[in-house]
Amino acid sequence: MKKISVIFVLLLALASLNGCGKTPPAPEPEKSAWEFTVGAKVFTIEGLKEMKSVTLDLEMKGEVSSYTGVPLFELLAEAGVEDFQTLVLEAEDGYTGQVTREEALHKNSILCYALNGGELNKEKHAPLMFASELASTQVWVGKLKHVRVGE
């Protein structure tokens, strides 16, 4: 009986030592609701919303609306995109628009995530759209996934 008790105590001690020093696995990071790239840098919609934003009153199809987002020039700087003449804006479905350097770096060219204080239209633009005071509305690409240097 003593032998069994000693073995039990030893096994119990080994089991407790085995658990000591092990760190529990890190929790899986939450998946972003929307990821997009500027150059080679990956951004998330959640991270974009934490950045300093601006709200612009811009006209599209004869209607003036308020667009809230982050100036594209700030994201280009953070991504290290400096040497370009044009940028290609690509939507999730493959639709593309092209903007000049002047349009891209304009202070009122933004990647917007809100329209008139609410969400963007889910069917057409959400959750992210390029909008600009300078660029044609034909290149206001919604469901934006990639901003890359053009040729």
Say if residue 8 is exposed, middle or buried (CB neighbours under 10 Å; 0-12, 13-18, 19+).
Answer: exposed
Question: What pLDDT is recorded for position 23?
Answer: 63
Q: Under CATH, which number does the domain 35-149 receive?
A: 3.90.420.10
Q: What is the pLDDT along the chain (151 residues), one digit of tens a residue?
A: 555 554 554 455 555 555 555 666 666 657 778 999 999 999 999 999 999 999 999 999 999 999 999 999 999 999 999 999 999 999 999 999 999 999 999 999 999 999 999 999 888 899 999 999 999 999 999 999 999 999 8
Dihedrals φ, ψ of 92, to 5°?
-60, -35
Residue 145, both tokens: 């996934």
Torsion of CA 127, 142, 57, 49, to 10 degrees: 30
